[in-house]
């Protein structure tokens, strides 16, 4: 059932919770004022010791952080619990235990106040987050979603109107960054570390593959690139150059260039296929400076424009969850009475198409 879209909500305040992986995020947004306050705690320091996210530790840390962050955000916004009109939370996809922390807290918080609790798709949060920038894109646009284990191209006609154009068949771009970084001996989180190392390298030093670059469709594949990086590292090791900072920087630069080349080429192909001239890039990889520069130059040359979320909102955060809920309420896509029911669940695997409207 759709909620009536002809009702105007007089700046309904929505608090959003994000806990799908290794960031605990809380934010408050209003249907009139937009984003009002947000706070984020990253678990990077904790997981670095293990070389990657440990789900059990992630869940326990969400439990420790979510209440203090909620108090911090409400103080920032200058609001009391009674001022809130709804609660939103990431229901999936993500780590099951981590999702359950945010979902159970959000539902309990909402239930105690008699408020609706709106389940939000994590990728929809990323997809709409560029609208939080000072200059926001208008619908329709092509979206390149590069978040964690997801790499997808979507045609976005409006809130809840998403058409899948292409997606990765194996490793996502973020995984290619992280796994290649691990092969290079870099610490967690690998992607940003690889990009930092790449700044001092020569991207032409190694001829790495661009999987599916000329496939004729908009799908991606990055597993072959990871294998190629492994092969180059073994060759460096055999020649005694594996510890050479210059050789490792060159390989990092070549790896980054290959990933960016594939992402940019496919995104531009999607624009030509749809006839659109507006591109939105969302997700953690959207913070990559080589990707940003490549796309900005290409879109300017074709008379289009590319939009990114603010750098502080590229990774997982509560602001995108509160904002996605605001957008769904504005569009009349939620039955607020229905979401007052006490039962809830999470969906560690959840197709974005499931939240689309006809």
Residue 6 counted as domain residue? no
Q: What is the CATH number of the domain that holds 325?
A: 3.30.420.40
Tell me which residue range forms the domain holding 203. Answer: 138-308
Residues 146 and 249 grouped into a single domain: yes
Supply the pLDDT for residue 358: 64
Predicted confidence at residue 1, as pLDDT, reads 26
Is 3 within the bounds of a domain? no
Distance from C-alpha of 73 to C-alpha of 80, rounded to nearest angstrom: 10
Closest alpha carbon to 13 in 59, 79, 64, 92? 79
Determine contact, residues 125/88, Cβ cutoff 8 Å: no
Tens digit of each residue's pLDDT (9 = 90 or more) over 78-137:
999 999 999 999 999 999 999 999 999 999 999 999 999 999 999 999 999 999 999 999
Give the pair of three-digit tokens for residue 148.
Answer: 């964690």
Tens digits of per-residue pLDDT, 215-232? 999 999 999 999 999 999
| Three-state SS letters, 37-104 | EEEEEECHHHHHCCCCCCHHHHHHHHHHHHHHHHHHHHHHHCCCHHHCCEEEEEEECCCHHHHHHHHH
Measure Cα distances from 197 to 181, 186, 254, 259 in Å: 10, 9, 11, 15
Whether residue 143 contacts residue 280, with contact meaning beta carbons closer than 8 Å, is answered with yes
Instruction: Give me the pLDDT at residue 9, please.
Output: 55
Q: Are residues 290 and 183 in the same domain?
A: yes
- Going by C-alpha positions, the residue among 41, 52, 35 that lies closest to residue 125 is 35
Asked whether residue 1 is assigned to any structural domain, the reply reads: no
Indicate whether 156 and 24 sit together in one domain: no
In a domain, 219, yes or no: yes
Report pLDDT for 4.
34
Are 163 and 300 in a shared domain?
yes
Q: What pLDDT does residue 343 have? A: 82
Say if residue 302 is in the same domain as residue 321: no
The proportion of the chain whose per-residue pLDDT surpasses 90, expressed as a percent, equals 88
Judgement on whether residues 277 and 343 belong to the same structural domain of the protein: no
The backbone torsions φ and ψ at residue 288, rounded to the nearest 5 degrees and listed phi first, read -65, 125
In a domain, 217, yes or no: yes
Residues 52 and 145 in one domain: no
Give 279's Cβ-side CA count (13 Å radius). Answer: 31
**Number of domains comprising the chain:** 2
CA-wise closest residue to 115 among 317, 324, 350, 325 = 325
Give the model confidence (pLDDT) of 316-342 as tens digits.
999 999 999 999 999 999 988 888 888
Within the chain, which residues score under 70 in pLDDT?
1-9, 358
């Amino acid at each position: 059932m759709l909620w009536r879209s002809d009702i105007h909500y007089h700046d309904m305040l929505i608090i959003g919770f994000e806990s799908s992986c290794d960031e605990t995020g809380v934010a408050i947004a209003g249907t009139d004022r937009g984003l009002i306050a947000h706070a984020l705690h990253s678990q990077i320091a904790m997981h670095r010791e293990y070389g990657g996210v440990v789900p059990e530790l992630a869940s326990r840390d969400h439990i420790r952080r979510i209440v203090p962050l909620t108090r911090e955000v409400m103080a920032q916004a200058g609001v009391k619990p009674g001022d809130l009109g709804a609660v939103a939370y990431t229901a999936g996809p993500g780590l099951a235990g981590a999702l359950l922390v945010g979902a159970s807290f959000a539902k309990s918080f909402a239930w105690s106040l008699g408020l609706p609790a709106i389940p939000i798709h994590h990728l929809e949060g990323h997809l709409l987050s560029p609208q939080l920038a000072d200059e926001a894109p208008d619908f329709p646009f092509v979206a390149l979603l590069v978040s964690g284990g997801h790499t997808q191209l979507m045609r976005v006609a409006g809130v809840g109107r998403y058409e899948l154009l292409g997606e990765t068949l194996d490793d996502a771009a973020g995984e290619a960054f992280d796994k290649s970084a691990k092969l290079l001996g870099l610490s967690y989180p690998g992607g940003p570390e690889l990009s930092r190392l790449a700044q001092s390298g020569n991207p032409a030093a190694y001829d790495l593959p661009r999987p599916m670059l000329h496939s004729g469709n908009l799908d991606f594949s990055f597993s072959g690139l990871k294998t190629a990086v492994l092969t180059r590292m073994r060759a460096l090791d055999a020649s005694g150059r594996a510890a050479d900072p210059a050789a490792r920087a060159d390989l990092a630069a070549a790896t980054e260039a290959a990933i960016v080349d594939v992402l940019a080429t496919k995104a531009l192909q999607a624009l030509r296929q749809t006839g659109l001239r507006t591109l939105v890039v969302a997700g953690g990889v959207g913070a990559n400076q080589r990707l940003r520069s490549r796309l900005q130059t290409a879109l300017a040359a074709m008379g289009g424009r590319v939009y990114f979320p603010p750098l502080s909102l590229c990774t997982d955060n509560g602001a995108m969850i509160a904002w996605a809920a605001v957008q769904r309420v504005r569009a009349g896509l939620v039955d607020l009475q229905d979401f007052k029911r006490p039962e809830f669940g999470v969906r560690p695997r959840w197709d974005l198409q499931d939240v689309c409207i006809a």
